[in-house]
């Protein structure tokens, strides 16, 4: 097991002793400078907290019953859980407006109105909120096919495959 570079893992430990809450913040991986830079980038100021990961965990727990704490529904296969998380993530980013991402738009002397945005709109990936049908019908292009490296003489069937470019015959 090798630790990734530029990854910061922090921990917040809360203990209540005689009615007094003690909070200890630890850096499990990464440097103090890296953690401070990440806090500055994401929050502007503040201390190590778990608000972002707790919000993400709640976002996934609500629609996926296998992730709730006490449930009778289990994820029997890792592929099922991964597909569920991918689906929830796509809905979260493309189909749901987020209150914190809305923009204030001035409307002359009448005041202002709010422009709702999804994370995908805020990131510039799309210009509108996607419907579930649009999300499910989106075709992901296949990666380009790369001919595997083979030893020996190529078969005649290999030369009959459709290619975009020319193949040098050996």
The answer to whether 112 and 106 are in contact (CB under 8 A) is yes
Is 122 inside a domain boundary? yes
Average pLDDT over residues 28-55: 84
Is 132 inside a domain boundary? yes
Q: Identify the residue with better confidence: 145 or 160.
A: 145
Is 109 inside a domain boundary? yes
| Residue ranges with strand state E in 1-130 | 9-17, 20-29, 103-106, 112-115
Is 58 inside a domain boundary? no
Q: How far is CA 63 from CA 56, 68, 81, 152, in A?
A: 12, 9, 12, 53
Q: Is the pLDDT of residue 165 over 60?
A: no
Is 26 inside a domain boundary? no
Is 33 inside a domain boundary? no
Is 66 inside a domain boundary? no
Sole residue written with tokens 């990464």? 30
Strand partners, 23: 14
Instruction: At 76, list the tokens.
Output: 């029997």
CB-neighbour burial class of residue 124 (10 A; exposed 0-12, middle 13-18, buried 19+): exposed
Confidence of residue 163 (pLDDT cuts 50, 70, 90): low
Smallest CA-to-CA distance from 51 within 117, 121, 100, 7 is with 100
Q: Which domain holds residue 105?
A: 77-140
| Residue ranges with strand state E in 30-165 | 103-106, 112-115
pLDDT number for residue 15: 92
Instruction: At 45, list the tokens.
Output: 């100021």
Total domains in the chain come to 1
Is 129 inside a domain boundary? yes
pLDDT number for residue 170: 47
pLDDT tens digits along 89-144: 999 999 999 888 899 888 877 788 889 999 999 999 999 999 999 999 999 888 88
């Amino acid at each position: 097991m090798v630790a990734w570079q530029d990854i910061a893992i922090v921990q917040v430990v809360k203990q209540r002793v005689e009615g007094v809450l003690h909070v200890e913040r630890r850096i499990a991986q990464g440097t103090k400078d890296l953690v401070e830079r990440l806090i500055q980038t994401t929050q502007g100021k503040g201390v190590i907290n778990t608000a972002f990961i707790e919000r993400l965990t709640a976002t996934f727990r609500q629609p996926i019953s296998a992730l709730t704490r006490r449930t009778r529904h289990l994820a029997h296969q890792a592929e099922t859980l991964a597909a569920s998380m991918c689906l929830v993530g796509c809905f979260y980013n493309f189909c749901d407006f987020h209150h914190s991402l809305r923009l204030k738009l001035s409307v002359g002397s009448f005041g202002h109105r709010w422009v709702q945005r999804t994370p995908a709109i805020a990131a510039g990936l799309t210009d509108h909120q996607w419907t579930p049908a649009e999300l499910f019908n989106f075709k992901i292009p296949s990666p380009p096919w790369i001919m595997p490296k083979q030893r020996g003489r190529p078969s005649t069937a290999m030369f009959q495959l459709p290619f975009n470019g020319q193949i040098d015959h050996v």
